[in-house]
Structure 1
Amino acid sequence: MKDVASHAGVSTATVSRVLNGHAAPTQETRARVLAAIEELGYRPNALARSLRTTATKTFGLVISDLVNPFFAEIARAVEQEARAHGYCVVLANADESAEQQTTYVRTLLDRRVDGLLVCPATDDAAWMDEVVATGLPLVLLDRSVPGADCPVVRVDGAEALADLAATLVGAGHERVGVIAGPSDTSTGRERLAQFGSALAELGHPVHPDHVVHGDFRWESGKQAAAKLMGLPDRPTALVAMDNLMGLGALEQVRELGLSVPGDVGIAVYDDQPWFPLLDPPLTVIAQPTVEMGRAAARCLIALIADEQPPDVDLTARLVKRGSCGETGRG
C-alpha cells in the first residue's frame, strides 16, 4: 500500500479509502490511485484484512457427493447467490463420508470462513459441536440432523410421493420395490416412510423383502435392483429414492433383458435434464434444486448479518413421463 501511495503521490490513508470504496478527495486522485494499483499489480491482503474486520467474505459449502448431479446443481446455485451478495464459496466434497466431512469442516473453520453450509453425510452430529463452540453461523442443506439447533433448508416430498403411489396403483402395480437411501440419513428415512405410508393407505403396503437400502450411489442402485428382480415374486415397479441409484437400477434392468415399462416400471426421486431423453423418459419426483441452493445461501448470509432466518421448506412434485406404464403428465 505504501508503494501504491508513493507511486500515485498520495497518502496511504487515501489509498485505503479508494480500496474500501470510500470517496477519494477528487475523482482525479481516485483515478491516479487505481492506475497505480493496476501498474504495480497490487492486491490487498485478504487475510490481513480479515484479522482487522473479522470477516473474510467467504463461506464454506460441504456437500455429500460432487459426482451426484443433484449436489452439483445445488453447489452452482449457492455460488451464484453468494456471488450476487459479494461472497466467495469454498467447496468441499464429503464423498458421503462422515470422517471426510469432519476433516473439511475443521479445515474451513481454520480458514476463518464467515459461515458454513453443510449437507450432513449421516445423522452423526459430533462435528456440529466444534462449529457451535466457535459460534460460526451454520445452515444445514437438504438433510437434517437430530437435535440440530440451526436453520435447515430442505424439500418436502410427501405430497409428490403420495402422488407417485397413487399413479403406480392406478397403473396396476401391486408389488413395488423400493431402493431406499441410507437409514442413517434423514432423507433416506423420510422418503421411505412417506412412500410406504402412502402405499399402505391405498391398500398396497410395501413388503419388507421389497425394500433394499443403498448409499445414494450408482452401484448400490444396480445391486439393489439385481436383488429385487431376483426375487420369486419380483416387483412390477421399482422406485429409486435418488437419481444415481435410479440410473444404476435402470442399467441392471437392461442387463437382465427386461423392458421398461413392459416388464418393470421405474420411477426416480430427483430429475435431471437428460431424463426426458431416455427411452422411455423417466417418471420422476422433481425437486426445486436451484431454489434450494439459493435459499440456503440467503439463509446463511442472513445469519452472518445476525438475523434469525426460519427453516425453509420447499415442495417437490411428481412428473409423469410413462416409465411406469402410467398415462398423462403431472
Structure 2
Amino acid sequence: MSTIKDVAREAGVSTATVSRVMSGSGRVSERMRERVLAAADRLGYRPNAMARSLRSETTRTLGLVVSNVLNPFFTAVARAVEDAAHERGYSLILGNADEDPEKEELYLNVLLERRVDGLIVSPARAESPYLAEVVEEGVPVVFVDRHIEGIGAPVVRADGRRAVGELVEYLVGLGHRELAVISGPPEVVSGRERLEAFVGAAQQRGVPVMEERVRVGDFRRASGAVAMRELLALRERPTAVFVANNLMALGALREVRRAGLKVPEDISLASFDDVSWFELVEPPVTAISQPTGELGAAAARMLLEMVEEGRRPRSLIMDAELVVRDSCGRPGR
C-alpha cells in the first residue's frame, strides 16, 4: 500500500501538504491540491477515513519557531507570544531551530502535522522554499524580528538603523576613528541590515570601517569570541567594536578579558539587542534595545487576526533605542 510519504515524493511536496489536502482543511491552493490528488490517484493512495475526520476542526494551538532559544531576546519574545495566546484561549508549541534551516523545516513540518492554527516564525535564513510553500497554501504565518523577502506574510520587527546611526555618532563623538563590527550572517536579513547600517553610518561620518575590521559570526557566543580574537590580533586593532547581537557580544567581551585588556579603557564595546544582564556586568554594556515584549505580543495578535478573521494584517515596524552605559569611553591609545 502507498503511504503519505510516497504521495509527497511523487508530487514533489511535503508530507504536511499531502496531509492538508487529504484532510480538506482549505489551506491549500487549488493548483497544489490538484497536483497532490493526481499523485495520490496514480499511486492508488487513500487516507484513513477516521484520521481524516479527526482533522476537521481547529486545535486552538499556535506554533512558534525561533532561531535560537538560548538568545534572551527570543526567550522574551516567546513569553510575550505565549501570554497573548493564553489570553485568547490558545496554547503555544515552541520549536528551536538553533540557526539551522534544516532543523527549522523539521519543526515546521511537525507543527503542521499537529495541525496548529497558525505559525509565528523567526527564519534562520533569508530563503526558505518550504516556508514559501506553506504560505502559498494559505497557512496563517507571521514573521517576527527576521523575515524572508518575497514571501507574502506580514512581519513584526524593530528597525534599528536609526539607533545604529546614533551609536556611530556617539562613538565618533568620543573620539573613535578605528571602528570594527562583528556582524551576523549576511544571508539573514537582520544580520545584513545591522552590518549595512553600521558601515553606512560610519562612512557618512567620515570614519569608514576598513574591510579587515569587519568580521562575520553566526549570532552565537562562540563566533563572537572568535571574531574578537581576530580583531585583537590585527596590527592596528580597533578602538571600538559594535557586535550585532547579545550572545556574540558576550563571547567578544570574554575574549577581551582573556587577552588581559579592559573595557572601555583599552577597547570600547557596544551590542545590538539589550538584555537585563547587560546592566549587571562590569562595566555595564551599551546596547541597542528592541521592544521585545511588544514585538511578541503584536505578532500573536496579528496571527490570531488571520486565524479568526481570515484577514491579512499589515506589517508592523517599531523603533529600537540606544541605551548608553559604561562600556564605551574615549580611545585608550
TM-score of the superposed pair, with normalisation by structure 1: 0.82
Q: Which residue of 1 aligns with 2:274?
A: 271
Q: Does 1:295 align with 2:268?
A: no
Deviation of 1:322 after TM superposition, in Å, equals 1.9
Whether the 8 Å contact between 2:132 and 2:151 is mirrored in structure 1 is: no
Task: Within 5 Å, give how 1:214-253 maps onto structure 2.
Answer: 214-253=217-256
Deviation of 1:123 after TM superposition, in Å, equals 1.1
Q: Does 1:136 align with 2:139?
A: yes
Whether the 8 Å contact between 1:266 and 1:282 is mirrored in structure 2 is: yes
Q: Does 1:319 align with 2:330?
A: no
Letter in 2 for 1:179: I
Q: Which residue of 1 aligns with 2:46?
A: none
| SS of structure 1 residue aligned to 2:314 | coil
Q: Which residue of 1 aligns with 2:314?
A: 310
Q: Which residue of 2 aligns with 1:23?
A: none
Q: Which residue of 1 aligns with 2:180?
A: 177
| Structure 1 residues without counterparts, runs of 5 or longer | 1-46
Q: Identity over the aligned pairs, expressed in percent? A: 47
Whether the 8 Å contact between 1:98 and 1:124 is mirrored in structure 2 is: no
| Distance (Å, rounded) in 2 between the aligned partners of 1:135 and 1:276 | 43
Q: Does 1:186 align with 2:189?
A: yes
Aligned CA RMSD, in angstroms, stands at 1.6
| Distance (Å, rounded) in 2 between the aligned partners of 1:223 and 1:106 | 34
| Distance (Å, rounded) in 1 between the aligned partners of 2:130 and 2:211 | 33
Whether the 8 Å contact between 2:135 and 2:151 is mirrored in structure 1 is: no
Evaluate the alpha carbon distance shift between residue 147 and residue 322 of structure 1 in structure 2; reply closer, same or farther with a 3 A threshold: same
Q: Does 1:72 align with 2:75?
A: yes
Cα deviation 1:118-155 (Å, max 9, x = unaligned)? 10000122111331353210111111112111101111
| Distance (Å, rounded) in 2 between the aligned partners of 1:133 and 1:266 | 43
| Distance (Å, rounded) in 1 between the aligned partners of 2:119 and 2:55 | 21
Letter in 2 for 1:166: E
Q: Does 1:115 align with 2:118?
A: yes
Letter in 1 for 2:83: Q
| Distance (Å, rounded) in 2 between the aligned partners of 1:262 and 1:183 | 31
Evaluate the alpha carbon distance shift between residue 260 and residue 301 of structure 1 in structure 2; reply closer, same or farther with a 3 A threshold: same
Letter in 1 for 2:75: A
Q: Does 1:59 align with 2:47?
A: no
| SS of structure 2 residue aligned to 1:162 | helix
| Distance (Å, rounded) in 2 between the aligned partners of 1:225 and 1:190 | 20
Letter in 1 for 2:322: L
| Distance (Å, rounded) in 2 between the aligned partners of 1:78 and 1:248 | 28
Q: Where do 4+ consecutive residues of structure 1 move more than 6 Å?
A: none
Cα deviation 1:276-317 (Å, max 9, x = unaligned)? 111111000011001000010001001112122110101100
| Distance (Å, rounded) in 1 between the aligned partners of 2:243 and 2:193 | 13
| Distance (Å, rounded) in 1 between the aligned partners of 2:64 and 2:279 | 30
Whether the 8 Å contact between 2:240 and 2:267 is mirrored in structure 1 is: yes
| Distance (Å, rounded) in 2 between the aligned partners of 1:135 and 1:54 | 16
Deviation of 1:54 after TM superposition, in Å, equals 2.3
| Structure 2 residues without counterparts, runs of 5 or longer | 1-49
Task: Within 5 Å, give how 1:162-173 maps onto structure 2.
Answer: 162-173=165-176
Letter in 2 for 1:157: G
| Distance (Å, rounded) in 2 between the aligned partners of 1:287 and 1:94 | 21
| SS of structure 1 residue aligned to 2:276 | coil
Letter in 2 for 1:185: V
Whether the 8 Å contact between 1:58 and 1:90 is mirrored in structure 2 is: yes
| Distance (Å, rounded) in 1 between the aligned partners of 2:208 and 2:259 | 26
